[in-house]
Amino acid sequence: MIGYIQETQLFQMILSDAKNYAELIRLAKETEDYEALERYRDEVLTLKTPFNIVLNMINDALQGEYA
């Protein structure tokens, strides 16, 4: 049970990070702040989390599907 709780907490942290970066990237794109976009992209690429979750959320944000 402890392992499941730890995995769930880790997953929640990953989702939270992904949502935060997705929102930052969406706002940077909306305001055409290309310097910030590049910086956020670089930060995301250095994260040690499952990239598919983070990149999918970022992709959704860039396509305007993130709410």
- pLDDT tens by residue, 8-50: 777 788 778 878 888 888 898 899 998 988 888 888 777 666 6
Considering only residues 56 and 27, tell me which one the structure prediction assigns the higher pLDDT: 27
Asked if residue 34 is part of any domain, the answer here is yes
Helices and strands, counts by H and E, the chain: 3, 0
Rg (CA), the chain: 13
DSSP SS3 for 13:
helix
With contact defined as beta carbons under 8 Å apart, do 34 and 1 qualify? no
Considering only residues 59 and 1, tell me which one the structure prediction assigns the higher pLDDT: 59
The predicted pLDDT at position 6 comes to 66
Considering only residues 2 and 13, tell me which one the structure prediction assigns the higher pLDDT: 13
CA dihedral of 25, 31, 36, 42, whole degrees rounded to 10 = 30
Tally of domains in the chain: 1
Residue range of the domain that includes 12 = 2-62
pLDDT at 65 over 60: no
The predicted pLDDT at position 61 comes to 78
Asked if residue 67 is part of any domain, the answer here is no
